[in-house]
């Protein structure tokens, strides 16, 4: 397993965290048990010392000054096995002691003797007797406000230390074994969790610009990896669509530019075959100029869309009167409509409708939509433009009206009685160089980019554009744009 791999890092972090938890828990367990055992020993020693101190006058004298063991057994039914007991006077001289001490006496330090003379109880651990760990309590007996005796009781800590040593050995064995198991389990879990990532990597390596149809099979379980795969597949789908559009765009652009160039070349070759009259030269030059103008329009539109795609075009947005702009554009386009014997009309239910937009782009939008209707409408037909302000929801009172006005929008509808658009073509109508009737569009001089430019203008203003059409009955292009926010009143 590579040290820089994600699998190794996941396993390492898993083992480190588990190791810290196990060591912390083991340390806590060890010291808690140690404290509990020592506290239990101290509690028993204190209880025994208190009993001996309270019975030091009557029972002990009753059973003899030198036999503390017998006195304890008689009074408490207790054999102090493992307990060493001695009683000292206030000066520290040993008066009585248990039989198991024999010729040995419990040690008492000057500080402990001083504490006892002051009436303080002292606990200490000592190993001076046979290197055996002893827990010793020095308990002063106070009578009439003065210390008359000192009771010392010692208990062996061997059992306590044996229990703690056993626990330590168990922990020293189980913790490393648990970490070893965690390493193996961590590798397995990391491999299991990252296997879909390996599948993604292998699939990605097979995906190229020529093979964007490849997809990653999502797992049955809906988890983070599944969402990653779904997102990745969506990204590949978008890339596939973009590549297809780029290829189609390149092909269409080449075709659009190739046709006028072929016409220019053919006309030039025909004219050069023999001497021509000045009228024939003029006609050829006029035809050439039309083709050059068409190519110039295509190049300008392509440049515009290219800059729009890269975000190089900045919109000069301001509050504009859309009603005035529509009136001006309709008056200009009415001349073109009349030349084809078409009727152009408008309807507007409000005096003035303001939007926050680029005035030049709004003019371009309206001109392209109206011009598109004129191109595809037969003589005697009509084009109608509707401009209307709409609310997203009913307004109930003045406070709701202020809130509702922020969400208002304007709808522009350009309807014609032209040839219409087939249902299967309506989704493609805004694609670049797409034409419903290619031959007819060429006669009208269209570049096939007008509706693509319209879509860009609308989306750049956070709007929407759609088409509703039926073959033989005409089309309606519907543009929805947000209105300007309400103005502050003086």
The predicted-structure confidence for 256-278, as pLDDT tens digits, reads as follows 677 778 888 888 888 888 888 88
> Which pLDDT value is given to residue 386?
92
Weakest-pLDDT range from 119-123, 312-316, 408-412: 312-316
Q: Which of 467, 462, 453, 468 is nearest to 482 (CA)?
A: 462
User: Which of the four pLDDT bands, split at 50, 70 and 90, describes residue 169?
Assistant: very high
C-alpha to C-alpha distance for 432 and 430, rounded to whole angstroms: 6
Confidence label for 357 from pLDDT (cuts 50, 70 and 90): very high
Q: State the CATH class of domain 316-394+403-482.
A: alpha beta
Are 60 and 71 spatial neighbours (Cβ–Cβ below 8 Å)?
Answer: yes
Residue 194 has pLDDT above 80, yes or no: no
**Top-confidence residue, 157 or 390:** 157
Rounded mean pLDDT, 119-147: 84
Asked if the model's pLDDT at residue 220 lies above 60, the reply is yes
> Does residue 377 surpass a pLDDT of 70?
yes
Residue 258, class by beta-carbon neighbours within 10 Å (0-12 exposed, 13-18 middle, 19+ buried)?
exposed
Instruction: Look at residue 350 in the predicted model and tell me its pLDDT.
Output: 61
Q: Do domains 6-161 and 316-394+403-482 have the same CATH topology?
A: no
- Going from the C-alpha of 257 to that of each of 224, 239, 435, the distances in angstroms are 49, 26, 15
The Cα 182–Cα 276 span in angstroms is 95
Q: What is the pLDDT of residue 280?
A: 85
pLDDT digits (tens, 9 = 90+) for 404-423: 444 588 999 999 999 988 88
Q: Cα angle vertex 306, ends 305, 310, to 5°?
A: 115
**pLDDT grade for 126, boundaries at 50, 70 and 90:** confident
Return the pLDDT at 90. 77
pLDDT > 50? residue 64: no
pLDDT at residue 261, as a whole number: 84
* pTM of the predicted model as reported, rounded to 2 decimal places: 0.51
Please indicate whether residue 310 or residue 332 has the higher confidence score (pLDDT). Answer: 332
Q: How confident is the model at residue 76 (pLDDT cuts 50, 70, 90)?
A: low
Instruction: Output the CA–CA distances (angstroms, integers) from residue 105 to 40, 136, 189, 283, 482, in the order listed.
Output: 24, 12, 63, 138, 102
pLDDT in tens, 408-462: 889 999 999 999 888 888 888 887 777 665 544 555 555 678 888 899 899 999 8
Nearest CA among 112, 109, 80, 117 for reference residue 97:
80
pLDDT of residue 426: 83
pLDDT of 63 higher than 50: no
- Cα–Cα distance measured from residue 334 to residue 328, given in angstroms and rounded to the nearest whole number: 10
Mean pLDDT of the chain: 80
Tell whether the model's pLDDT for residue 158 goes beyond 80.
yes
Check whether 488 has a pLDDT greater than 50: no
Residue 444: burial class (beta carbons within 10 Å; 0-12, 13-18, 19+): middle
Confidence grade of residue 74 (pLDDT, cut at 50, 70, 90): low
> In the prediction, which pLDDT does 303 show?
78
Report the pLDDT value the prediction gives residue 61, as an integer from 0 to 100: 44
Tokens of 249: 């765009």
Q: How many CA atoms lie within 13 A of 17 on its CB side?
A: 7
Q: Rounded mean pLDDT of 304-316?
A: 77
Quote the pLDDT of residue 306.
Answer: 74
Residue boundaries of the structural domains of the chain: 6-161, 224-306, 316-394+403-482
Overall average pLDDT of the 199-208 stretch: 77
Q: Measured between alpha carbons, how far is 231 from 238 in angstroms, rounded to an integer?
A: 11
Task: State the average pLDDT over residues 156-170.
Answer: 91
> CATH assignment of 6-161?
3.30.450.20
More confident: 291 or 367? 367
Q: Is the pLDDT of residue 68 over 70?
A: no
Which of 181-190, 320-329, 454-463 comes out lowest in average pLDDT? 181-190
**154 with 136: CB under 8 angstroms?**
yes
What lies within 8 Å, CB to CB, of 68 at 6+ separation is: 52, 60, 80, 85, 87, 96, 97, 98, 99
For residue 391, pLDDT beyond 70: no
Q: How far apart are CA 190 and CA 147, in angstroms?
A: 71
Q: Which residues are within 8 A (CB) of 69 and not within 5 positions of it... i.e. 6 or more apart?
A: 79, 80, 85, 98, 99, 100
Q: What's the pLDDT score for residue 77?
A: 53
8-state DSSP, 220: S
CB atoms within 10 A of CB 151: 24
Distances (CA, A) of 249 to 226, 255, 310: 34, 10, 16
Nearest Cα to 240, choosing from 266, 263, 211?
211
pLDDT at 483: 83
Instruction: Single out the residue of 397, 330, 50, 18 nearest to residue 174, CA to CA.
Output: 18
pLDDT of residue 62: 44
Please enumerate, as own/partner, the contacts of 105-114 that have beta carbons within 8 Å and a separation of 24 or more. 106/134, 106/136, 106/152, 106/154, 107/136, 108/138, 108/150, 108/152, 112/138, 113/138, 113/150
- Cα separation, 484 vs 357, in Å, equals 9
- How many CA atoms lie within 13 Å of 313's alpha carbon, on the beta-carbon side? 18
pLDDT of residue 365: 92
Q: Which CATH class is domain 224-306?
A: mainly alpha
pLDDT confidence tier of residue 59, bands split at 50, 70 and 90 = very low
Contact 67, 99 (CB under 8 A): yes
């Amino acid at each position: 397993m590579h040290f820089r791999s994600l699998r190794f890092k996941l396993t390492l972090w898993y083992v480190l965290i588990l190791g810290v938890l196990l060591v912390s828990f083991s340390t806590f367990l060890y010291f808690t048990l140690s404290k509990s055992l020592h506290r239990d020993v101290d509690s028993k020693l204190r209880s025994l010392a208190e009993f001996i101190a309270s019975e030091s006058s009557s029972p002990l004298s009753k059973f003899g000054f030198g036999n503390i063991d017998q006195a304890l057994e008689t009074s408490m039914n207790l054999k102090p096995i493992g307990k060493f007991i001695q009683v000292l006077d206030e000066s520290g001289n040993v008066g009585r002691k248990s039989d198991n001490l024999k010729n040995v006496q419990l040690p008492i330090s000057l500080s402990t003797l001083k504490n006892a003379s002051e009436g303080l109880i002292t606990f200490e651990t000592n190993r001076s007797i046979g290197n055996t760990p002893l827990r010793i309590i020095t308990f002063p007996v106070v009578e009439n406000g003065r210390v008359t005796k000192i009771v010392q009781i010692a208990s062996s800590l061997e059992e306590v230390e044996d229990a703690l040593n056993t626990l330590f050995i168990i922990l020293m064995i189980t913790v490393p074994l648990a970490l070893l198991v965690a390493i193996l389990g961590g590798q397995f879990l990391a491999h299991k969790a990252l296997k879909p990532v390996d599948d993604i990597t292998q699939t990605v390596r097979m995906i190229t610009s020529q093979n964007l149809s490849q997809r990653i099979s999502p797992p049955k379980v809906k988890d983070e990896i599944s969402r990653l795969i779904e997102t990745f597949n969506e990204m590949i789908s978008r890339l596939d669509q973009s590549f297809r559009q780029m290829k189609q765009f390149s092909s269409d652009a080449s075709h659009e530019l190739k046709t006028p160039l072929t016409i220019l070349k053919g006309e030039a070759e025909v004219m050069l075959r023999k001497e021509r009259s000045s009228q024939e030269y003029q006609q050829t030059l006029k035809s050439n100029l039309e083709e050059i103008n068409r190519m110039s329009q295509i190049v300008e539109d392509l440049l515009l869309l290219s800059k729009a795609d890269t975000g190089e075009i900045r919109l000069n947005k301001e509050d504009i009167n859309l009603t005035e702009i529509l009136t001006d554009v309709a008056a200009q386009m009415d001349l073109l409509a009349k030349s084809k014997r078409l009727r152009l009309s408008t309807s507007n239910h409000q005096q003035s409708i303001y939007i926050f937009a680029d005035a030049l782009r709004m003019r371009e939008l309206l001109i392209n939509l109206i011009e598109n209707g004129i191109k595809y409408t037969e003589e005697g037909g009509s084009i109608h433009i509707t401009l209307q302000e709409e609310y997203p929801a009913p307004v109930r009172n003045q406070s709701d009206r202020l809130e509702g006005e922020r969400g208002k929008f304007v709808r522009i509808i350009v309807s014609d009685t032209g040839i219409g658009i087939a249902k299967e073509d309506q989704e493609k109508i805004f694609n670049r160089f797409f034409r419903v009737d290619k031959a007819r569009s060429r006669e009208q001089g269209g570049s096939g980019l007008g509706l693509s430019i319209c879509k860009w203008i609308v989306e750049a203003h956070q709007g929407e554009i759609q088409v509703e059409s039926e073959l033989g009955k005409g089309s309606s292009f519907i543009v929805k744009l947000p209105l300007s926010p309400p103005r502050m009143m003086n």
